[in-house]
Copies of this chain bind each other. A is one copy, B any other.
Amino acid sequence: MSAPARGSLLVIGGSEDREDDMQILERFVQLCGGADRRIVVLTTASRVPEKMWAIYDAAFGGMGVARRSEVRVTSRLEANDASLADDVAQADGIFITGGDQKRLLALIGGTLLDQALHAALARGACIAGTSAGASAMSAHMLADGKAELHPEKGAVSLGAGLGFMQRVAIDQHFSQRQRLARLLTVVAQNPYLLGVGIDEDTALLIEAGGGIEILGAGAVTMIDGRHMVSNVADIRQRAVPEMVDVRLHLLPAGSRYGAQGDPATPAALADFLNIVTDIA
């Protein structure tokens, strides 16, 4: 459907610093090409878009981004407005705020605005999403669910996301909200998907050339269930599945792989990253 991306994705685990060092937001502006470029903030995931816009208006304004604007879409009719979509497709950076990823997709999934996001990425824009905006980035979107102590069959539901990444499920506020059991639940039932859990004030940057970098204060946890042996198909709802041979990778801020000059990627991680970085 989409051309291969020439842009980059910045997948942020929520609660990124917006007032002090703003490391992640500063990097976003750089990835857009600098403070003289045009950045739009998509507040649709939130029920209080004006509050979201006020936060990012101040943050990007403080960095000298003059051409910043909100895209406040609150209906599918607006999301199918051709001139708005064209405006978004031509932006240098698009920042998708937090809120509720189900709300975001219910309003923009399949619309001209959805297509415009892909067109912008293909053209070379940077698309950032935080919290709900991060979860929304994959084709299979972690939509809902709690699994507090252990993985639980049936505890988590998926939805159709924006589809910048194809074989990935993203969770956010990951260590802070102790969401490993929830992500293991996704992988137990959907071993086709690689689980990516992103901490608060932390981001996974996927560069156009296939490099990745972890930014910010925390870490990214990656769960690979492709080798897993499990009884999940046979147990009752809400039971705890047996999961044998789940592969886990923990990449703290500062980790970089896949671009020229980066450390050699360990074999067990290389295949995982090939899938994660296949963005469009």
Residues of A within 8 A of B (CB): 149-151, 175-176, 178, 180-181, 184, 199, 218-219, 227, 229, 239-253, 255, 266, 268-269
In the complex with contacts A149-B175, A175-B181, A219-B240, A268-B245 CB distance below 8 A: yes
**Interchain CB contact under 8 A, A248 and B252:** no
**Interchain CB contact under 8 A, B244 and A240:** no
Bound: A227/B246 CA distance, A = 13
Which of A181, A184, A229 is packed against the most chain B CB atoms within 10 Å? A229
Number of chain copies forming the complex = 2
Minimum CB–CB distance for A35 against chain B, Å:
31
**Interchain CB contact under 8 A, A245 and B245:** no
A255 contacts across to B, CB distance below 8 A: 242
A241 contacts across to B, CB distance below 8 A: 250, 252
In the complex with contacts A176-B149, A199-B149, A245-B268, A250-B184 CB distance below 8 A: yes
A240 contacts across to B, CB distance below 8 A: 218-219, 250, 252-253
**Interchain CB contact under 8 A, A251 and B242:** yes
Known contacts A229-B269, A243-B249, then 20 further A-B pairs from the complex at CB < 8 Å, ordered by chain A residue? A149-B175, A149-B199, A150-B199, A150-B219, A151-B250, A178-B178, A218-B240, A227-B268, A229-B266, A229-B268, A240-B250, A242-B252, A243-B248, A245-B247, A245-B248, A245-B249, A246-B247, A246-B248, A247-B248, A248-B248
Minimum CB–CB distance for A237 against chain B, Å:
14
Minimum CB–CB distance for A37 against chain B, Å:
32
Chain B minimum-CB-distance residue to A254: B242
Minimum CB–CB distance for A252 against chain B, Å:
4
A150 contacts across to B, CB distance below 8 A: 175, 199, 218-219, 250, 252
**Interchain CB contact under 8 A, A249 and B239:** no
29 CB < 8 A contacts A-B? A149-B175, A149-B176, A149-B218, A150-B199, A150-B218, A150-B250, A150-B252, A184-B250, A218-B240, A227-B268, A229-B266, A229-B269, A239-B252, A240-B250, A240-B253, A241-B250, A242-B250, A242-B251, A243-B250, A244-B251, A244-B268, A244-B269, A245-B247, A245-B248, A246-B247, A246-B248, A246-B249, A247-B247, A247-B248
Which of A150, A242, A245 is packed against the most chain B CB atoms within 10 Å? A242
